[in-house]
Amino acid sequence: MKEIVLDTETTGISVKEGHRIVEIGCIELDNLIPTKNKFHCYLNPERKVSEKAFEVHGYSDSFLSDKMKFGEVADDFLKFIKNKRLIIHNAEFDLSHLNNELKILGKENIDNEIVDTLSLARNKFPGSQISLDALCKRYRIDNSKRVQHTALIDCDLLAKVYINLIDQKEPTLDFKNKEEEVSKLNTGKVIYSTKVIKPSSEELKNHQIYLKTSLKKNFY
């Protein structure tokens, strides 16, 4: 099944305040494997970028001034996402902006099937931080390139987070045969030994003495 991981950057938070999209990034997944198919564009929003938005993505008015307008890329964008499930982190935000841009052009709202990874993470980790950065940290995904928010980098990270969220991936433990000692590989994986070592009679005697003396002293 083909899916599209999607992210946008904007001039500000709310479409009610007239904010517009300045960047769209999309990465295609085919059965959860990223393909080489991507959609990416910077957009001239035809308005100024708010200070807070500039702090987030770093796209200045001068940088965006010569970029295409949404109307020039709309058809290509809609063709790219057609009949594909969309994977979005905080889908309400991105969809509100995308649908606003389509409304300005007199086009219909996006009606694709949507998976909101923010909702997935909220259900899976109630009470925990579920920002993209927090989820990258939880799943040990390298987000060091995310100095600022950019649509394609965010899509790449979100694709990895999404795969972990739905597969319920956890750090892998490798169990070898019973006689193997505990050791660490160069890869950082830990091999756990299941070998049972029985204590000697002398060790049992010393353990009993410990329970009667040191343990009581330490806990009371």
CA distance 88 to 96: 12
DSSP state of 43: B
For 73, other C-beta atoms within 10 Å of its C-beta total: 19
Q: In what order do the strands lie in the sheet with 2-10?
A: 33-42, 21-30, 2-10, 85-88, 114-116
Specify the 3-state DSSP secondary structure of 187: coil
Is residue 149 among the annotated active site residues? yes
Hey, which residues does 25 pair with through a beta bridge? Answer: 7, 40
Q: Which of 19, 57, 97, 149 is catalytic?
A: 149
Specify the 3-state DSSP secondary structure of 163: helix
Q: How far is CA 108 from CA 99, 101, 103, 122, in A?
A: 8, 10, 7, 30
Domain 2-167 adopts which CATH fold? Nucleotidyltransferase; domain 5 (3.30.420)
pLDDT tens, position by position, for the chain (220 residues)? 899 999 999 999 999 999 999 999 999 999 999 999 999 999 999 999 999 999 999 999 999 999 999 999 999 999 999 999 999 999 999 999 999 999 999 999 999 999 999 999 999 999 999 999 999 999 999 988 776 678 989 999 999 999 999 974 544 333 344 334 333 333 333 333 333 444 556 656 665 665 555 444 443 3
pTM: 0.74
The residue ranges of every structural domain in the chain are 2-167, 174-219
CA terminus-to-terminus distance, the chain: 61
